[in-house]
Amino acid sequence: MRSLILVSNRLPIKLNSNGSLERTTGGLASALEGAGLDDNYTWVGWGGSSPSKGTKTDEFLEQMRKLGVEPVLLSDEEVNGYYEGYSNSTLWPLLHYMTERARFQPEWIRYYRQVNEKFADTILNIAAPGATIWIHDYHLMLLPKILRQRRPDLKIGFFLHTPFPSSEVFRALPERDELLKGMLGCDLIGFHTYNYLRHFISSLIRILGQEADVDGLQYRNRRIQLGVHPIGHNHHGFKKAAKSDIFQQTYKTHREQLEDDKLILSVERLDYTKGVPQKLDAIRHFLETHPEQANKVYFVLIAVPSRRGVEEYDNLTEEVQCAVSSINGTFGEVGHAPVQFLHRSFALEELAALYALADVCMVTPTVDGMNLVAKEFIDCKRDSHRARPGALILSEFAGAAQEMSHALLVNPHDTVGVANTIQIALDMEQEEMEARVQAMQKRLDLNHAGAWAKRYLTDLENASQELPCSNEEQPLLDISKQLHQELNNGKKLALFIDYDGTLRPFTAKPEDATPNEELKNLLQQLGEHPQIEVAIVSGRPRAFMEKHLGDLPLHLVAEHGFYWKLRDMDDWELLNEHVDTTWKETVLPHLEAATALTPGSEVEEKNSALVWHYRQADPEFALWRAKGLLSELTSTTASLPVSVHHGQKIIEVASQLVNKGVAVERMLQLWHPRIAVTAGDDVTDETMFACPTFENSVLHSLKIGEGDTRANQRTTIQGLRNLLESLVSERHTL
C-alpha cells in the first residue's frame, strides 16, 4: 500500500474546554479503523478552529500533528465564503435537488477555489512520490485536478457522500464545467448508488460532451474509473458500545419507562433534507386516524442541531418545535406526550440502547446520499444487544433504500402512506420482523464501514495509470527528432493527415469547420517544402475540400478514399472505378428512420458512403439511438459489401473497397518516402495506421485524442500542430 493521505473538509478533532485538542472517532475515522490500516495514514483538513490567542502557529500545528493530522488553516473570510457560502449555501441544496434554496454569490466561488488550492498546498508539502490521496465530498471538487496538474505521480481518489443530482439540476450551477473537470483529475470517482453514478455520466455528456461508460472513461489520455461504493456503518463501534456501562444503564432506564408501550424512534441531523416537517405531518395523521394509539406510543425524535444562527435553519427548528407542541397539545394526556423532540446529540452508547429498544425506526428523508441511521438500527437488533424486535420504515429517496429492500419503503411526501405504514409496522408479527432484520443484517455484516474503506482503497490502488500518450506539454520529441534528421539528410517525408478532429476541432455544424488563415498558411508552407509530400485524407466530400483546400499545394483525398486529386491532376478521379454503391438503397431508409426519430440529426449522402450525423441532437438520447442503429445496421448489412463505423457523433456506412488505408498505400507506392506520418482521430483513420511499410521506409502513426487505436503514438490537435510547425521552422533554419 502506498503512503495514504485522507482529505476531508473537517478534521476528526475536538477542542476541549481547557483548550486542548482531542481526536474523535467519527464515521470516516471508524471506517479507516475497520479497514485495518493501523493509523498508517495522515489526515488533511480544516480543524474547525485557528490557533487561540497567545498560541503560536507553529505550536498549534505541532499539537495537531501529534494527533496524526495535518491542518489547513483558514481565515474567517475563507470559512464564510468557501464553507458557509459556496459549499453549504450553493452546493449542498443543489446536490439535494433543492434549487430553490441554492444561493449564488460570485465571490463564494473565488473563496472555494482559493481554499481548494490551500488544501493542495498542504497535501503536496507532505505527499511522498506516488502517494495515494483519498479526497472526500463536495467541499473539495476542484482539488483532484489541481493535484493532477501539479503532481501527476499521485494516485487520486474522490468519494462523494451526497447524492449526485440529475443533469437538469446540476446544470443550474454556473460553475458546473469547472467542478466536473475538477473531479476528472481522479483515478477513481466513487458514489453511493448506481443512480448517482448514472446522473454523473449524464452530466459529463451534457455539460462537457464527454462520453463515459458505467465503469469509467478515457479523459486527457488517462483512464478514470467510476464505481458504486455504498458506505457502511460503524459496526465495530456499535458492537463495542453494547458492552459499555452507559449502554446497560440507558437500556435499563428506558426499558422500565416503556413497559408495554411502543417506542417509534427517529434520529437525524436537523436539516431541510431530512424531511422532519413531513414526518410530523404523517405522525399527526396517524394519531388522527388511530386515536387509540395516542397513549400507547412514544415518538422520540432526536434531531442533532445543525448550523445554528443561519436563518433558514433557525426557521426550520422553530417550525418543528411548533408542530411538536401542536401535536402534543392535541393528542397528549396528563403524564404522556406522544412526541418527544430532543434537540441535541447523543453518545453512541445511548443511541445503541435506543436502537435496541425501539419497536419502529422512522428514517424518512426527502433526499439523502446514504443514511447510516437505518443501518445502525438494523445492526443493533441483535440478541447480543438484548434487542426487542423492530421494523424499519425507510424513505425510498435515501441511498440506503437500494441496499435495504426488506425495510418498509415509503414516499416521505405521501402523508397518508407513511401514516398507514406506521400502523403496519406496529402490527407486524415478530416472526416477520426478525426475518426482515436478519436478511438485512447479512448484507450489513459484509458491508460495514471498514469493508467499504478497504474495498474502495483496493479499487483505487488497482485503478489504471496514465495511458501512453503525448500532448502539447510533452511534445513528440522522438518523432520530431527523427523527421528533422531525415530531412537534413535529404530524404523524402510524406504526411497523411485527417482533417476534422485532427487539423482542427469539431464544431456543432460541420460546415463551420473551415480552415482559418493560420492553418492554411501552415499547410501552404508544408506543401511548398521540396522534400515533403502532404496529403489531406478526409471523409469530407470533394466540393468542401476543393473550396477550402484546393488552392494549396496539397494532395487531397475525399470521402475516405473514394476520390483523390493529386497535385499533378487536373481534376478529381476515382481511386477504384469498380466500387459498387447499389447497397445505398437498402441502407438509406434505416438512416432516414433514425433521423425522423431523433430531432437534431441528419443524413449526409456521399458518393461512396452514407453518414448519420447526431452532433446537434440531445447527447444522451442520440447516443442511445446511435447504439441501436449501429446494431441494426450491422445485422442489415451483413451480406452487403460495406463497412459500418461509429465515429465522432456519426455513424457511417461505406463501401468496403473504399478506405483511407487504400489511398495511403497507393500514395506510398507512388512516392517511396524514407519516412511517413499518418495522423487521425477516428475509427476511419485506423486503416491508415495499419498500412504496410515499403523497403527501408518508416511509418509513424499518431492517434489524436482518446480511444482504442492501432497507432503507436498519441497526441492532441495542438501536439500535432506543434510537430508540423517545427517542420516549417526547420526549413527556415536550413
Which residues, 6 or more positions from 531, have their beta carbon under 8 angstroms from its beta carbon?
487, 490, 491, 492, 493
| The model's pTM | 0.81
Q: Which residue has the higher pLDDT, 36 or 565?
A: 565
Q: What is the pLDDT of residue 416?
A: 98
Identify each DSSP E strand in 137-245 by its residue range. Answer: 155-159, 188-191, 216-219, 222-228
Q: Tell me the CA distances in angstroms from 465 to 58, 154, 260, 496, one per residue in order.
A: 37, 10, 61, 31
Q: What is the pLDDT of residues 639-683, one digit of tens each?
A: 999 989 898 899 999 888 899 999 999 999 999 999 999 999 988
Compute the half-sphere exposure of residue 718: CA atoms within 13 Å on the CB side of its CA: 6
Q: Which amino acid is at 6?
A: L
Q: What is the pLDDT of residue 471?
A: 42
Cα separation, 389 vs 434, whole angstroms: 6
Which residues, 6 or more positions from 599, have their beta carbon under 8 angstroms from its beta carbon?
617, 618
What is the three-class DSSP state of 329?
helix
The yes-or-no verdict on residue 734 having pLDDT over 50 is no
Closest C-alpha to 493, from 293, 312, 620, 673 = 673
The yes-or-no verdict on residue 13 having pLDDT over 60 is yes
Q: What is the pLDDT of residue 2?
A: 65
Cα separation, 56 vs 349, whole angstroms: 37
Query: Is the sign of the CA dihedral 122, 125, 128, 129 positive or negative?
Result: positive
Q: What is the pLDDT of residue 473?
A: 39
For the ranges 74-83, 305-314, 438-447, 717-726, the lowest mean pLDDT is seen at 305-314
> CA angle, 440 as apex, 436 and 441 as ends, to 5°?
115
Q: pLDDT band at 31, cuts 50/70/90?
A: low
Q: What is the pLDDT of residue 38?
A: 66
Q: What is the pLDDT of residues 363-403, one digit of tens each?
A: 999 999 999 999 999 999 999 889 999 999 999 999 999 99
What is the percentage of the chain residues whose pLDDT exceeds 90?
A: 75
What is the three-class DSSP state of 552?
coil
Q: What is the pLDDT of residue 466?
A: 56
Residue 92 belongs to what H/E stretch? helix 92-95
Q: What is the pLDDT of residue 15?
A: 67
Q: Tell me the CA distances in angstroms from 342 to 181, 188, 227, 391, one per residue in order.
A: 42, 40, 38, 22
Q: Is 683 exposed, middle or buried (0-12, 13-18, 19+ CB in 10 A)?
A: middle
Cα separation, 174 vs 725, whole angstroms: 37
Q: pLDDT band at 470, cuts 50/70/90?
A: very low
How does DSSP assign 222-290, residue by residue?
EEEEEEE------HHHHHHHTTSHHHHHHHHHHHHHHTT-EEEEEEEE--TTS-HHHHHHHHHHHHHH-
477-577+658-733, superfamily in CATH?
A: HAD superfamily/HAD-like (3.40.50.1000)
Architecture of domain 4-228: 3-Layer(aba) Sandwich (3.40)
Cα separation, 46 vs 33, whole angstroms: 21
584-655 CATH fold: Alpha-Beta Plaits (3.30.70)
Domain parsing of the chain, residue ranges: 4-228, 235-446, 477-577+658-733, 584-655
Q: What is the pLDDT of residue 465?
A: 60
Contact 399, 163 (CB under 8 A): yes
Catalytic residue among 281, 359, 368, 498: 498
Q: How many CB atoms lie within 10 A of CB 508?
A: 10
Q: What is the pLDDT of residue 312?
A: 87
The yes-or-no verdict on residue 51 having pLDDT over 80 is no
Helix, strand, coil % in the chain, rounded to nearest 5: 45, 20, 35
Q: What is the pLDDT of residue 695?
A: 73
Q: Give the cell for residue 256.
A: 422500565
Q: What is the pLDDT of residue 510?
A: 80
Q: What is the pLDDT of residues 601-630, one digit of tens each?
A: 999 998 889 999 999 999 999 999 999 999
Q: Tell me the CA distances in angstroms from 454 to 9, 11, 90, 205, 231, one per residue in order.
A: 21, 20, 32, 31, 11
Considering the chain, what is the average pLDDT of its residues? Answer: 91
Domains 477-577+658-733 and 584-655 share a fold: no
235-446, superfamily in CATH?
A: Glycogen Phosphorylase B; (3.40.50.2000)
Q: pLDDT band at 728, cuts 50/70/90?
A: confident
Q: Give the cell for residue 402.
A: 437500494
Q: Which residue has the higher pLDDT, 56 or 621?
A: 621
Q: Give the cell for residue 49.
A: 478552529
Q: What is the pLDDT of residues 91-145, one digit of tens each?
A: 999 999 999 999 999 999 999 999 999 999 999 999 999 999 999 999 999 999 9
Query: Is the sign of the CA dihedral 409, 415, 420, 426 positive or negative?
Result: positive
Q: What is the pLDDT of residues 177-236, one digit of tens each?
A: 999 999 999 999 999 999 999 999 999 999 998 989 889 998 877 899 999 999 999 998
Cα separation, 613 vs 601, whole angstroms: 5
Phi and psi angles of residue 332, each rounded to the nearest 5 degrees, phi first: -80, 160
Residue 21 belongs to what H/E stretch? strand 21-23
The yes-or-no verdict on residue 733 having pLDDT over 80 is no
Contacts 24+ apart (CB under 8 A), 22-27: 22/67, 23/67, 23/68, 23/69, 25/237, 27/231, 27/234, 27/372, 27/449
Q: Which of 2-6, 91-95, 448-452, 691-695 tops mean pLDDT?
A: 91-95
Q: What is the pLDDT of residues 304-345, one digit of tens each?
A: 998 777 888 999 999 999 999 999 999 999 889 999 999 999
Residue listed under C-alpha cell 517544402 = 529
Which residues, 6 or more positions from 544, have their beta carbon under 8 angstroms from its beta carbon?
511, 558
Residue listed under C-alpha cell 452508547 = 349
38 is catalytic: no
Q: What is the pLDDT of residues 288-301, one digit of tens each?
A: 999 999 999 999 99
